[in-house]
């Protein structure tokens, strides 16, 4: 059994072409985006934890100075309400980070698809630059008798 060999234009052995590196570049870009997104989320978590600890320390100091049980209850209730607002703000920021990462990933994928399409189109143009449009017309016969017969077939088909 024989194997077919496809020779591409400008196919030079032992060289790395631009389209050979695309999958690596795509994964590298995606990995970099994931690392940046994880870094932003870690920074958000760090800020949220530090803010929460600072607020708890402030509430504990205020509760220690409070003389009445009603005052301590009011302080804890206001802390709980503020905590709910902070949780909502945290989720809003987290969603913004995730949405930004998603938009960047989609934009990068769209760009890669467009560049791949353009490279494919360019490769097809380059590969077919010397090819005549013989698929629709058929090959023109080389002998004078065959040309006359082809002209006769065409002439006969246009009469009817």
Looking up tokens 């009603």, which residue turns up? 70
Question: Is the pLDDT score of 80 beyond 50?
Answer: yes
State pLDDT tens for residues 104-134.
999 988 988 888 888 888 888 777 766 554 4
| CA gap 77, 71 in Å, rounded | 10
How many residues are present in the chain? 160
The CA radius of gyration of the chain, in Å to the nearest whole number, is 35
pTM of the model: 0.56
Distant-in-sequence, close-in-space partners of 100: CB < 8 Å, separation ≥ 6:
37
Percent of residues, the chain, with pLDDT higher than 90: 24
- How far apart, in whole angstroms, are the C-alpha atoms of residue 121 and residue 128? 11
Spans of all domains in the chain: 22-127
pLDDT of residue 58: 84
Q: 82 and 55 in contact (C-beta within 8 Å)?
A: yes
């Amino acid at each position: 059994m024989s194997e077919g060999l496809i020779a591409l234009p400008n196919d030079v052995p032992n060289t790395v072409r631009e389209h050979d590196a695309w999958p690596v570049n795509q994964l590298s870009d995606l990995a970099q985006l994931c690392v940046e997104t994880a870094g932003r989320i870690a920074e958000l978590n760090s800020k949220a934890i530090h803010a929460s600890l600072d607020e708890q320390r402030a509430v504990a100091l205020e509760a220690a100075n409070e003389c009445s049980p009603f005052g301590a209850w009011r302080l804890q209730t206001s802390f709980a309400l503020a905590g709910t607002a902070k949780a909502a703000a945290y989720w809003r920021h987290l969603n913004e980070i995730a949405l930004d990462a998603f938009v960047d990933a989609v934009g990068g994928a769209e760009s890669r698809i467009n560049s791949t399409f353009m490279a494919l189109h360019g490769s097809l143009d380059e590969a077919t630059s010397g090819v005549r449009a013989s698929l629709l017309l058929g090959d023109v016969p080389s002998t004078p008798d065959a040309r006359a017969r082809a002209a006769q077939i065409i002439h006969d088909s246009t009469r009817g």
